[in-house]
A = this chain, B = another copy of it.
Amino acid sequence: MLRQASSAALSLLATRPSVACSAVLLPRSSAVLGARTITAASPRASGLFEGLVSGSRNCLAKAITLVESTRYDDKDDASELLSMVLRSSSIRQYKTQDNFKSTFRIGLSGAPGVGKSSFIEQFGLFLIERGHKVAVLAVDPSSARTGGSILGDKTRMEFLSRHDDAFVRPSPSSCTLGGVARNTNEAILICEAAGYDIILVETVGVGQSETMVADMVDIFTLLVAPGGGDELQGMKRGIMELSDLVLVNKADGVLAVPARMAQMEYISALKFMQPVNALWRPEVLLMSAAEKKGIDEVWNSMKLYYKTMYDSKSLFQRRAEQNKTWMWRQITEELLWRLRHDPKVKASLLQLEESVKNGRITPGSAAEQVLHQFIADQQVRP
């Protein structure tokens, strides 16, 4: 399975030779996309776009950095780049062994130590052999808080990250979890425009990161490892219920028997859960990334899921709903951010929160005061 991948790589949209990503130097221009012409006001955005669709990894990385940027003067370019990306998304074809008719976004969650990196490495190489191009993105709650990162480290996926048909993006190292997740949501679109048809989004079982990842992927996969027989105890609430597929990794050597026991436990735990998806009953599969066993069964199950969702038109319905969810999540987050950073609100918020906690004022009255200050402050601004 580690043989070099066949070169059935996608040659989508490559109407011109590799662009050197000298985006900012290009004149105001139009990017030609197959039969369509997209006029763009920003040379930077159109340069990046042309570069990424023609396969420049450098442009791809820069494009993601642009949509991740929090700099005010990057906003217009980012938004223009994203428009171009969205308009390009309908005119693509995927030439792989699997005949998918669109990209496939796969979420992967699991606690540290269950072997996410090894799995992604093996799974990614397996997919590349089948003709896919694989992008790996990460939503990392630790990077949101500390600026450090526990996911998406290229060195953890040595072979995959060096492969021509793979793109491994380390976690963004800034801002809020919501911000990180929003960026990842947009990075998916960029990678798809660059011809990556399988997008793996990994996260770790902390905070709200799974819910956010589940809201940006087509299938949500939970990776677990066999433990002392009670690995289910104390499992983070809700995570199993989000999962369309549970993979028990490390089903090899001395852990083969514990892995089968864990499989049974997860199967019976799933019985207590309401399925997220009316069309799909979650499966629990055994595999071993170390021994490269079971990867094909995992992929068969995912393909069946894809087919079920695609044929019933649920795949795109789900994406449409996800987009709406993201729009409202971002409106809410941005409004609350503005409110918290409003000078008048800021000046009184701590004391109000204290009064609310101590029961000196009702939550409702405090909320009214905060809103009154915020709205009044918006009104006096120029």
Binding site for B on A (CB under 8 A): 75, 79, 82-83, 86, 89, 182, 185-186, 189, 232-238, 241, 269, 271-274, 319-321, 323-332, 334-336, 338-339, 352-353, 356-368, 370-371, 374-375, 378-379, 381-382
Contacts and interface: CB of A to CB of B under 8 A. Distances in A.
A364 B235 contact: no
B272 A83 contact: no
A352 B330 CA distance: 14
Contact of A82 (B89, B356, B365, B382): B365
Contact of A235 (B272, B339, B353): B272
A366 B328 CA distance: 9
A273 B237 contact: yes
B362 A271 contact: no
A70 to B, nearest CB: 12
Contacts of A272: 232-233, 235, 269, 272
Given A235-B272, A241-B237, A362 B186 contact: yes
Given A233-B271, A335-B335, A338-B371, 20 more contacts: A83-B362, A86-B359, A232-B272, A233-B272, A234-B274, A235-B274, A238-B241, A269-B272, A320-B359, A324-B356, A324-B363, A327-B356, A327-B367, A331-B336, A331-B367, A331-B371, A332-B335, A335-B336, A375-B378, A379-B381
Given A331-B336, A378-B375, A368 B324 contact: no
Contacts of A356: 323-324, 326-327
A7 to B, nearest CB: 30
A327 B238 contact: no
A319 B238 contact: no
